[in-house]
Structure 1
Amino acid sequence: MRRQTPGKDDILAQPWLQPVRPYLSDDRLWALERQSVARGVAMGLFMGLLMPVAQILFAVAGAAVIRGHVPISAACTLVTNPFTVPPIYYAAYQLGDQLLPASLDFSSFTFEAHNWLADGINWAITHGAPLMTGLLVIAAVSAVLGYLAVHLCWRSKTPRTP
C-alpha cells in the first residue's frame, strides 16, 4: 500500500499547488509524531464536520497553521460523506434547537418572492441558526475527543521502559 500512496514530494510536485508549496513543504507537517497527528486529527474532524464544502482545503490550511499532520487532517474530513451527513445534520439541528433560546424566532424573516431561491433563503434563515450551532458544538467536541484519543492510543502503544 505504501508503494501505491504518493509521498510528500509527489504531492507537492503538482503544478496547481505551486502557490502554497512553501507553506506545505515543512517536514514536520508530514512526520508521524504524536503532537502533529493529534493536531491533524483534531483539525480534520473539526473542518470535516463544520464545513459543508471544501473541507479538505480548509483542513489542510488549518493543519499547516497549527503544525498538524497534513495527510491525516485531509483524511479525517471524510468523517462526513453521503452516508453520515443526514444523521449528523439531523443530530446537529436537534442539538442546536435545544441550545438556542426559545425566544429566538426567525420565522418573521421571510422573502416574498416564491421561487426556489427564496424558498432556500427562507429555509436557511429559519433553520440555519440551530443547524450551525449544533454543527459547531459537534465539531468542537469531536475535535477535542479526537485529539485526546490520539494521545491515549499513542501512549498505550508506546512501550514503557522500567
Structure 2
Amino acid sequence: MPRKFLKRYMPDVHKLNEYGVLKPFGKLAHDPNLWHLNRRSAAGAFAVGIFFAFMPMPFQMVAAAAVAILVRVNLPLSVALVWISNPITMPPMLYGSYRVGAFLLNQPSEPFLFELSLAWFQASLSSIVPALLLGCLVLGTLAGSISYIAVRKVWRQAVQSAWDERIRLRRERLRKLKAQFQQQPRTLHDD
C-alpha cells in the first residue's frame, strides 16, 4: 500500500521539533492533519511539492511548507518533493521552462549563456526572464496537476487491489472450511 511505503521515509514531527525546523511556522505546523497520510493529503502534497520544484526562487521549501499548511496537505511530503529540482535536474527544467514560455509568448527562443551575476540578470530581464517565469508557471502547474491525478489513481488502485486480495483470501478460507466440513463423517446421536 502507498501509505506504508511513504511512511517509511517520513520524518518524525518530534525530531523536527527538537531541531527547531518548524519554528518559523509556530503552532500552525503542529496540526495533526499536516502529518497524517491519506490519499487526499498525499496527492495534494505531490501537487504542492512538484509545483514549487519548478519555481526558480530561493527558499522553495519554505514556500512549499507555507502552501502545504495553508491547503492542509502532508507537510513533510510537500517539502521533500521540492528536492526534485536539484543541481542536476534544475538546468534541464529551467531550459524546458524557458522554451515553453518562449513558445507561449510567440518569441523565438534565443541561445543564451547563463551567468550567476547581477549584470546578466539585469541584461536578460526583458528578454529571457518573462518567458522563463511563464514556462515555469505553466510546467509547474501541469506537472503538479498530473502528479495529483496520478497519486490519487495509484492510491485508489492499491486500496482496491488490497480489498480484492482480502476478499479472495476470505473466499479461499471459506472454501477450505466447507471442504473440511463435508469430509468429516456425520454421526447421529440417539439420546
TM-score by length of 2: 0.70
Residue 85 of structure 1: how far off its partner (Å): 1.0
**2:125 match:** 124
- Structure 1 vs Structure 2: percent identity of aligned residues? 29
Residue 99 of structure 1: how far off its partner (Å): 0.3
Letter in 2 for 1:36: S
Number of aligned residue pairs: 149
**1:43 match:** 48
**1:151 match:** 152
Decide which structure has the larger Cα Rg and report it.
2
Cα deviations across residues 101-154 of structure 1 (Å, max 9, x unaligned)?
45xxxxxxxxxxxxx633430112210011111111000001101111110110
**1:64 match:** 69
Letter in 2 for 1:40: A
Residue 18 of structure 1: how far off its partner (Å): 3.1
In the alignment, the residues of structure 1 paired with residue 8 and residue 146 of structure 2 have an alpha-carbon distance, to the nearest angstrom, of 32
Residue 8 of structure 1: how far off its partner (Å): 0.8
**1:138 match:** 139
Question: What does residue range 2-151 of structure 1 map to in structure 2 within 5 Å?
Answer: 6-15=11-20, 17-102=22-107, 117-151=118-152
Letter in 2 for 1:155: R
Q: Which runs of 5+ in 2 are unaligned?
A: 1-6, 108-116, 168-191
Residue 67 of structure 1: how far off its partner (Å): 0.5
Runs in 1 of length 4+ with deviation above 6 angstroms? 2-5
Q: Which runs of 5+ in 1 are unaligned?
A: 103-115
**1:112 match:** none
Relative distance call for 1:141 and 1:58 in structure 2 (3 A) is same
In the alignment, the residues of structure 1 paired with residue 57 and residue 23 of structure 2 have an alpha-carbon distance, to the nearest angstrom, of 26
Relative distance call for 1:6 and 1:45 in structure 2 (3 A) is closer
Residue 66 of structure 1: how far off its partner (Å): 0.4
Cα deviations across residues 36-75 of structure 1 (Å, max 9, x unaligned)?
1111111000111114321111111110000110111011
RMSD between aligned alpha carbons? 2.3
Letter in 2 for 1:26: D
Compare 4-13 and 58-67 and name the one that shifted more: 4-13
In the alignment, the residues of structure 1 paired with residue 86 and residue 10 of structure 2 have an alpha-carbon distance, to the nearest angstrom, of 22
Contact 1:12–1:25 under 8 Å retained in 2: no
In the alignment, the residues of structure 2 paired with residue 136 and residue 4 of structure 1 have an alpha-carbon distance, to the nearest angstrom, of 29
Contact 1:30–1:69 under 8 Å retained in 2: yes
